[in-house]
Amino acid sequence: MRIDLTGKRALVTGSSQGIGLAIATGLVGAGASVVLTGRHPGRLDAAAEQLRTAVEGVEVTTVAGDVVTDEGTAQLLAAVPDVDVLVNNLGVFGAQPALEITDDEWRRYFETNVLTAVRLTRSYLPGMRDRGWGRVQYIASDSAVVVPDEMIHYGMTKTALLAVSRGFAKEAAGSGVTVNSVIAGPTHTGGVEEFVRSLVGNQLPWDEAQREFMRAHRPQSLLQRLIEPEEIAHMCVYLASPLASATTGGALRVDGGYVDAILP
């Protein structure tokens, strides 16, 4: 399968590390120019240098700022007024007992994980539609379907993204723009390592801690291991390509068989 994104510009939010950086790496590997976003300039510079080292001659732009805020979003839109591919990856997660989640935390999760993606889609989708080509993606989670009891506020936001994705796909109908969500399963990132440790402790070596986490907290997984970020990125690069022209309004699973259903 030959994927060529030469001449396309992609924006990946939350892309200084983890899944976002893996997606950006996959996109530049397919020939796209990429915009990295995040709150920390130093991390963004390091990520950009990693991409330039991985792919010779790649065009990488960094925009530091908090796109959860109106000011941060305005700064990004001023620096990058148009893109061909938008990957809404930015998100926060963490364990907290359901009855102890405050109103402020509910708002923070919704504004970070959902409203930021809505705002950027609202900003970039019209230009894509006018040009007759574009790709919008939302990085959702198995938690959208199998809401974990230790972080229902996170699960709520990922369920919302599935609805947002389907709704914007209808808005883009017949325009040459596709809109999809990617249901990522439990994935190995630095943040997830910290999350795993918070649940199983620091005594076990990492491989044993990972297995214990999957056994105790994610027993539905058919993969029986954490997914590597690059495995999520492969799906995102495909969806960003012309080869995925007939895939829109969907929720594509890269969940290691975690969701126990034929359809999401």
Alpha carbons 126 and 173: distance in angstroms, whole number:
12
CB neighbour class for 89 (10 Å; exposed up to 12, middle 13-18, buried from 19): buried
Q: Which residues are catalytic?
A: 154
User: Which backbone phi and psi does 147 adopt, to 5 degrees?
Assistant: -70, 120
Other Cβ atoms less than 10 A from the Cβ of 187: the count is: 23
